Amino acid sequence: MKVNGKIILLQKDINLFDFLINNNYEISKIAVELNKKIIVKAEFKNIALNDSDSLEIVTFVGGG
């Protein structure tokens, strides 16, 4: 699976929510695009990830 541009391999079936938690993302401070489609947080648990997916996980940083 592609996560923020990097290829990783999914060890096991996992849903989006668990993946983010396992990888220490702060759910409250991120927004997620799965295959260029925004996923609302309420759906995180219902989305199963697989290796063909492309995931973008973004947050706020300082900017002018």
Partner 1 sequence: MNDKLIIAGREFNSRFILGSGKFSLNLINSVIKNADVEMITLALRRANTNGSENILDYIPKKITLLPNTSGARTAAEAVRIARLARELGCGDFIKLEVINDSKYLMPDNFETIKATEILANEGFIVMPYMYPDLIAARQLANAGAATIMPLGAPIGSNKGLLTFEFIKILVDEISLPVIVDAGIGTPSQACQAMQAGVAAVMANTAIATSGNIALMAKAFKLAVEAGRLAYLSGLGRVLDYKAEASSPLTDFLED
Which stretch, 10-18, 43-51, 55-63, contacts partner 1 (CB under 8 A)? 55-63
Residue 52 near partner 1 by CB under 8 A: no
Cα-flanking dihedrals φ and ψ of residue 31, to 5°? -130, 150
CB burial string 2-17: b at 16+ within 10 A, e below: ebeeeeeeeeeebebb
Residues within window 25-44 making contact with partner 1, judged by CB under 8 A = 25-26, 28-33, 36, 38, 40
Residue 14 DSSP code: E
Contact residues for partner 1, defined by CB under 8 A: 4-5, 23-26, 28-33, 36, 38, 40, 56-64
